[in-house]
Chains A and B, each alone.
Chain A
């Protein structure tokens, strides 16, 4: 696995270094609209290496969320293919974690038990639930303390703030050690300060699990801060019009946001966004 922990994530032989985990091959999407087919997404081609964190940004309605749903297999690509380890994704993958803008939690479970939900469903954890309960609780507590929720394990969702719920839902998305973490505008509903705090925590979580991260966002700073690579999508019919590698060292800090380098990335990406 490529280690994104160290300085630069550009192992030059990226293409030859090994199989990409995910490949998009001429992916498209159309929707019937007033009698004809409307093109939403057109020929998206890209590949994502193991351990890479990528973001998709673009104007609203350009099909960013659809990209995510194709990867998860919740709505497989209707045109072209998305492949995971060379296998066409045609049904929901089992090795993914998902977090949405709405951090849905089960109101009858406390935070700890909400975070542990995937362990009750995903193999091999579910078979080991009784035997390794203590170990699993420890795993969950570990994640919760990474996002500074260690003192809120016994609280119920309605006793948490929106930001806290989102942090818990990130822990839930990661506890079963998924290979792919899918994030659909996870911080869209949070205020600017909370959001920046969340970036740092998400980075910390992701650096522990070392999975592929795919982030959908319309916050360009968020994309730059978190990603190894940012893909800019055009408006409909959308395709990738610009991609850039973000060579900022990790772990990234909020101070870096003020650096020239950071702002250079930001403004270059900003110039490529159409309305």
Chain B
């Protein structure tokens, strides 16, 4: 048993078994307590809905995926630049940081209606909401990564006459990478949350939109099917970052 826990496959097999067990338990509860499908559909109903509505689900899933990815990429770009500024410039830290914190406390769901008024009920509010939710943890972690470079290393570089850019390139950036990857994993799920919030309030497509449509016509199995696909996409993105992280920062243990 211990040998198995130490093996690589345990990380895949155990969650897989747990998921199956959860579905079986769920199915049994629904059957035993005779819960109607418009309250809580059984997993079998959900999978049936997935097959029946495959075309709609696919189209909307793709819409959610690309808006999320676009918002996420924007968040990485802006987050890294902001983090660099906050981490290296005292002025930027003092002026920007309180504003960022204040902005981050605003519930993003409250901004979506505004975005919808400005840009219409389309993919733009979804992309922007994803971006707004995701950039903050990235910016904070880049700044944190730059700030945690050992003071001795900073002294070594200063005494070599390194410019700010050289310091960033040679030390700050690589040193921040573990922090950045930690934040990317969080930011990716945040971006999905942002997209779905926006889609469920103001959109013309996407899984969030589909869920709202399905629930309003009491098609609960379809809503659950969409939820399941969301969970799957989020997990896949997370796994992708874990994989890239292992390749890029092989030196961080």
> Which residues of A line the B interface, CB within 8 A?
72-74, 92-94, 96-98, 100, 102, 104, 106-108, 117-118, 120-122, 156, 158, 172, 176, 182
B162 within 8 A of A: yes
Given contacts A92-B161, A104-B156, 15 further A-B contacts (CB under 8 A): A72-B159, A92-B158, A94-B159, A94-B161, A97-B159, A102-B152, A106-B171, A106-B175, A107-B251, A107-B252, A108-B249, A121-B157, A121-B162, A121-B170, A158-B251
Q: Which residues of the partner chain B approach A121 to less than 8 Å between Cβ atoms?
A: 157, 160-162, 166, 170
Q: Give the docked Cα–Cα distance between A72 and B171 (Å).
A: 20
**Contact (Cβ within 8 A) B161 A98:** no
Q: Nearest residue in B to A100 (C-beta to C-beta)?
A: B152
- Residues of chain A within 8 A (CB-CB) of B175 are 106
Contacts of B101 in A (CB 8 A): none
Give 6 closest A-B pairs by Cβ, nearest first. A94-B161, A108-B251, A104-B152, A104-B153, A100-B152, A121-B160
Quote the shortest CB–CB distance from A85 to chain B (angstroms). Answer: 16
Q: What's the Cα separation between A108 and B158 when bound, in Å?
A: 20
Instruction: Considering the complex, give the chain B residue whose CB is closest to the CB of A72.
Output: B159
18 pairs, CB–CB < 8 Å, chain A vs chain B:
A72-B155, A72-B159, A74-B158, A92-B158, A94-B161, A96-B159, A98-B156, A102-B152, A104-B152, A106-B153, A106-B171, A106-B174, A107-B252, A108-B174, A120-B170, A121-B162, A122-B160, A172-B156
Report whether B155 and A118 are in contact in the complex, using a CB–CB cutoff of 8 Å: no
Q: Is B34 an interface residue (CB 8 A)?
A: no
Enumerate chain B residues within 8 angstroms of A176, measured Cβ to Cβ. 160
The CA of A172 and the CA of B152, in the complex, are separated in Å by 13
Please give the distance in Å from B141's CB to the nearest CB on chain A: 17
B159 near A92: Cβ-Cβ < 8 Å: yes
> Looking at chain A's contact residues, is the secondary structure mostly helix, strand, loop, or mixed?
loop
Known A108-B174, A121-B170; contact A102-B150, beta-carbon cutoff 8 A: yes
Residues of B contacting A156 in the complex (Cβ-Cβ under 8 angstroms):
251
Q: How many Cβ-Cβ contacts under 8 Å join chain A to chain B?
A: 54
Cα distance, A132 to B150, chains bound together (Å): 31
Which residue of chain A has the shortest Cβ distance to B162 in the bound complex? A121
User: Is B3 close to A, CB under 8 A?
Assistant: no
CB under 8 Å from chain A, chain B span 36-73: none
- Contacting residues, chain B, for A117 (C-beta < 8 A): 170
Distance in Å: Cβ of B206 to nearest Cβ of chain A = 40
Contact: B155 with A74, CB < 8 Å? yes
Asked whether, in the complex, the Cβ of B161 is within 8 Å of the Cβ of A74, the reply is no
Query: Is B247 an interface position by the 8 A CB rule?
Result: no
Interface: B253 (CB within 8 A): yes
Highest count of chain B CB atoms <10 Å: which of A92, A121, A156: A121
Q: How far is the CB of B229 from chain A (nearest CB, A)?
A: 38
Distance between Cα atoms of A172 and B174 in the complex (Å): 19
CB closest chain-A residue, reference B163? A121
Which residues of B are found within 8 Å of A96, using beta-carbon distances? 159
Q: Mark B120-159, 1 if CB is under 8 A from A, else 0.
A: 0000000000000000000000000000001011011111
What residues of chain A lie closer than 8 Å to B155, measured between beta carbons? 72, 74, 98, 100
* CA A173 to CA B237, docked complex, whole Å: 43
Bound-state Cα–Cα, A14 to B156, Å: 31
Bound together, the chains give a CA A94 to CA B253 distance in angstroms of 34
Residues of A within 8 A of B160 (CB): 94, 118, 121-122, 176
Residue-wise, chain B 229-253 has the 8 Å CB interface mask toward A (1 for contact) of 0000000000000000000010111
A158 and B252 alpha carbons, distance in the complex (Å): 10
**Set of chain B residues within 8 Å of A92, measured between Cβ atoms:** 158-159, 161
Q: Which of chain A's residues have a CB closer than 8 A to the CB of B158?
A: 74, 92
Residues of A contacting B150 with CB < 8 Å? 102, 104
**CB neighbours of A108 from chain B (8 A):** 174, 249, 251-252
Q: Which of B155, B157, B171, B175 has the most CB of A within 10 A?
A: B155
Q: Smallest CB–CB gap between B23 and chain A, Å?
A: 43
In the assembled complex, the CB of B159 is this many whole angstroms from the nearest CB of chain A, namely 5
Smallest CB gap from A123: residue in B? B161
